Amino acid sequence: MFRKLGNGFWLVAVITILIVFFNLGGIPLLDPDEPVYAETPKEMLSSNEFASPRIYGEYWYDKPPMYYWLVAASYKAFGISEFAARFPSAILAVACALLVYLSGRRLFNERAGIAGGLVLATSIEFFYLGKAAVTDITLLFFLSASLLSFIEKKYYLAYLFAGLATLTKGPIGLLFPGGIIFFYLLATRNWSQLKCMKIPSGLLLYAAVATPWYLIMYNIHGSIFIDTFLGFHNITRFTSPEHPEVVLWYYYIPVLILGFFPWTSIMLQSIWASLTQSTYHFSTLLFLNIWALFIFIFFTISQTKLVSYILPMYPPLAMIVGWYIDHLWASRTKIRFTSWAITLSLLAILFTGVMFIGLKAMPILANGIYISSLIFILMAFFVAYFVWKRELDRVFWTQIIAMNLFSIVLVTILIPHAAPYLTTKNLAHEFNSQYDGTSPVYVVKFLRPGFAFYTNVYGKEVTVKTDFNKLIEESKRSYFVIRQSEYDRLTDINRQSIIILSRIGDKLLLLKK
């Protein structure tokens, strides 16, 4: 099947590049996360200070600087734009798919490597985050490189990439590789491997990469950096929910089902087979399973939950699925894989149902949802047909082609049509054309990063605790950038004292004269 395709490296590279880079700069930055990671490196460049991240002109300690540095370099190369803000994520997404391919080829074989790389590239959550100006893909690449270097016994590389992961997201850059490797050694009882891991010199290499920035920040900012970065953004977020409404023990089950789609149709079978039917590759597959399980359990325990947190599960799952597809192909006369078609059909129905629920909330997405539903239904139909014909290669490529088509629909129809509700860009342009240049500006916290990025005006933050009616009553001539929900809470008297300069989606630009 795959050996006839030529160089697997270029096959994986071209398909991943097409998915990730297509229309990369054609969509505005989506509130609130993307503008945060786009605005901070912009301020780094304007202040010519690259050690201490800033936003709205003030120091902040939410994340280490790796992604900001990469975006700042991208701005230097391409200019300040949406494309430049997303370029580091996109290029590292391609690198991550190629990493999975290369490791899969070395650990298993060429066919398993190609399958694993393409499974990762066509998983919905992976390619969506690969097209986003956020830190998740950068962390994913460094963590995956560290763990795959370990299993391939390239220990110094494992320490190096763990250091880079720590510069990307903090202590988990060492905690995750260390924890996963510990449980792997515990499961295999292969403690003698510790003697080969070059621990003293490896930790020195890790420290040389990871610690200088932390020492510089502590030297500049003192205990406030430790208290805010380590105390709040790491320990407190793990032990206390940032979003209490989503603290559910099963939160990541639907996230995984939809995020790894369409390969969740074969994920459980792949995991079971990797633990019961593998012989020569059992140790490697066990490591990949422990890796995925560790991430899932860690974030299930964590009190703060976000959809993107379990992304580090996807490379090991993709490699397990890639191994299983190769296993099915090699044993096609002995193994039935009708469950693949049945599970995919059920998931396609589920995914379509979720989209139609979303249609009720945002009817403007109708065309994109109809086209996406058709893609998923046709994918399920042809997979079932090719399973019945026992043509595994066509089953695989049907899913690859379908997800390529969906990725195009996502960035040309779905997100652009939803953009008025997801971005502050258009309202910021209205503000730029009407602002008098001197009056104070009040901006809802959720909208402030995008507003700052597109206007270069930071504004004064309005939080959920702000008495908005009182603020308007006490203000002289002022501009307000708010959402419909804040506007609905205004009294009739306050509504009469303001002018609606612009209304785009659920966002309003107000002026009090």
- Quick: pLDDT tens for 303-324: 778 889 999 999 999 999 999 9
Closest by alpha carbon to 112, among 258, 260, 273, 325? 325
pLDDT classification of 357: cutoffs 50, 70, 90: confident
Asked if residue 241 has pLDDT above 80, the reply is no
Q: What is the pLDDT of residues 178-209, one digit of tens each?
A: 999 999 999 999 999 999 999 999 999 999 99
Helix (H, G, I), strand (E, B) or coil at 509: strand
Mean pLDDT of 72-82: 96
Q: What is the pLDDT of residues 387-404, one digit of tens each?
A: 888 888 899 999 999 999
User: CA angle 460-419-357, nearest 5°?
Assistant: 115
pLDDT of residue 40: 95
Higher pLDDT, 253 or 228: 253
- In the sheet that holds 460-462, the strands lie side by side as 460-462, 441-444, 478-483, 507-512, 498-504
Asked if residue 9 has pLDDT above 50, the reply is yes
Asked if residue 237 has pLDDT above 80, the reply is no
Higher pLDDT, 250 or 501: 501
The least confident of 33-37, 280-284, 388-392 is 388-392
φ and ψ at 210, to 5 degrees? -90, -35
pLDDT of residue 222: 80
Asked if residue 479 has pLDDT above 70, the reply is yes
Asked if residue 65 has pLDDT above 80, the reply is yes
Higher pLDDT, 53 or 279: 53
Residue 390: DSSP 8-state: T
pLDDT of residue 5: 47
pTM of the predicted protein model: 0.93
Mean pLDDT of 420-428: 93
How many CB atoms are located within 10 Å of the residue 74 CB? 24
Q: What is the pLDDT of residues 117-130, one digit of tens each?
A: 999 999 999 999 99
Nearby residues of 99 by Cβ (< 8 Å), 6 or more positions away: 141, 144, 145, 148, 315
φ and ψ at 182, to 5 degrees? -60, -50
Asked if residue 6 has pLDDT above 80, the reply is no
Q: What is the pLDDT of residues 153-165, one digit of tens each?
A: 999 999 999 999 9
Mean pLDDT of 63-81: 95
Cα(270)–Cα(257) distance, rounded to whole angstroms?
14
pLDDT of residue 227: 73
Cα–Cα distances (Å) from 120 to 99, 104, 113, 255, 444, in that order, read: 11, 12, 11, 16, 37
Closest by alpha carbon to 413, among 39, 10, 26? 26
Cα(269)–Cα(327) distance, rounded to whole angstroms?
12
pLDDT classification of 367: cutoffs 50, 70, 90: very high
pLDDT of residue 401: 97
Mean pLDDT of 258-283: 92
Which helix (H) or strand (E) segment is 228 a member of?
none
In 25-184, the DSSP E strands lie at 54-55, 58-59
Kindly state the tokens that stand for 448: 């402030």
Asked if residue 243 has pLDDT above 70, the reply is no
pLDDT of residue 231: 52
In the chain, % of residues over pLDDT 90: 69
Cα(51)–Cα(485) distance, rounded to whole angstroms?
38
What is the maximum alpha-carbon separation in the chain?
79
The least confident of 51-60, 167-176, 230-239, 242-251 is 230-239
φ and ψ at 24, to 5 degrees? -60, -40
pLDDT of residue 334: 52
Cα(404)–Cα(78) distance, rounded to whole angstroms?
26
Cα(105)–Cα(101) distance, rounded to whole angstroms?
6
Cα(289)–Cα(186) distance, rounded to whole angstroms?
14
Kindly state the tokens that stand for 180: 């996963």
Pairing of strands 58-59, 54-55: antiparallel
pLDDT of residue 311: 96
pLDDT classification of 2: cutoffs 50, 70, 90: very low
- Arithmetic mean of pLDDT over the chain: 90
Higher pLDDT, 353 or 81: 81
